[in-house]
Amino acid sequence: MTSINPIYSILCIDDEVQNLAVFDSAFSQDYHVYKASTGKAGLKILEQKTVQLVITGQDLPDMTGLEFLEKIIPLYPDCMRMIMTGTGDMDDIIRAIDRGIIFSYVAKPWQPENLKISIDNALEVYNLKRQNGNLISSLNEIKQTLQRKVMERTREIEQQRLNITDSILYARRIQKALMLTGKELDKLMPSHFVFNKPKDIVSGDFYLVSKKNDRLIIAVVDCTGHGVPGAFMSILGISFLNELVNTMDSPQASDILNELRKRTIRALGQTGKTDEAREGMEMALCVIDPVSRKIQYSGAFRPLYLMSGGELSEIRGDRMPIGIYHEEEIPFTNREIQYREHDSIYLFTDGYVDQIGGLDRKTFKSVRLKKLIREIWQKPMKEQASILREEHEIWRAGQEQIDDILVLGVKLFDLKH
């Protein structure tokens, strides 16, 4: 079928003018036909015209047909290439096909019907190659667009991360500002250590040390959760504890816990419903009277360790939290302990003893902590903190820290009164 508007262009090169005329007569109605009698003339046409198929004879005046086709490959890689030849050149033709120099060959003398089929096959391959090229180009554009969007989104996420990190770092400064500094602690407790190792930037564990009417109030508190949620709870707990200590004339340990529980439940809107979140705190709190050498202790799940005369005593807290627990609020127990001049006390959250590690990937457990304290309690307090930190790292052995850690130790002999 003849094309009214030919869309493909063919360059035919032959050293015989009569052959070119026959080719033009046979195919000019179906294709744009350009003719050349030398390789040089064919190159000139290719520079000026867009051609989809080149068909050349093998014996040209200035070069062979294969030399011509090999020369145009890097210049016009999409252009299809065919050669017309006699039987004497078949070895060279087969090698050219294998090397991809030509798509196919046409044996002389050629028949219009057979050559038309070969031309259409070549142009179909050309069309498929162009479609494939367009598809690859489109895919590359889509890929570049996606990469650009991913990079933009990554930058946005990184900026958000930096903003969040900056906010959390600022929250850590606020959290630290609410607790006494090392110098302030040294004035109240000349021989002490604080081993504080948050799991994240901010912590759900905190300590409070305050003085009221010559009595020293020391608390170590573990809020529900860690990271930002725990930090919010810790700020709430620090604020409530400071207010309670400052407003109570003669605070007892259990009174502080009872009142702290009321305020926490009220602040969190806890009602005791079964589907309600159970945010709260665990804590160990001591009110120490250096004159009478007595300790009032009250605890919510957290114990007090007392080292006296080389013996470690564990005074356990009540098994209920600072927060909603049962419908009936049971008062916290106030325990009074007489201590001796060279005794030491240790208060801690559960992060240290719950750390997973060791060869069997088990928790450190309170048994190991007690053994460790018995071994180090007579050493200077700063050295004890270093040993606790080192033992923790050895036990953890590269495992993820699972919770905030806070351990506070105090030698009681030189408390100011």
The three-class DSSP label of residue 318 is strand
Which runs of E-coded beta strand occur in 46-177?
A: 53-57, 80-85, 104-107
Domain covering 9-134 assigned CATH 3.40.50.2300 in the classification: yes
Q: What is the pLDDT of residue 228?
A: 75
Q: Is the pLDDT of residue 81 over 70?
A: yes
Q: What is the pLDDT of residue 1?
A: 39
Closest CA to 260 of 191, 315, 320: 320
Q: Cα separation of 38 and 16, whole Å? A: 10
Helix H or strand E encompassing 209 = strand 205-212
The rounded percent of the chain whose pLDDT value lies above 70 is 94
Residues 143-176: tens digit of each pLDDT:
888 888 888 888 888 888 777 777 667 667 777 7
CA separation (Å) from 317 to 208, 257, 279, 329? 18, 11, 19, 16
The rounded percent of the chain whose pLDDT value lies above 90 is 61
Kindly list the domain boundaries of the chain, sorted by start residue.
9-134, 178-411
Regarding beta strands 9-13 and 304-308, do their DSSP bridges make them parallel or antiparallel, or are they unpaired?
Answer: unpaired
Which of the four CATH numbers 3.60.15.10, 3.70.10.10, 3.60.40.10, 3.40.50.720 does domain 178-411 have?
Answer: 3.60.40.10
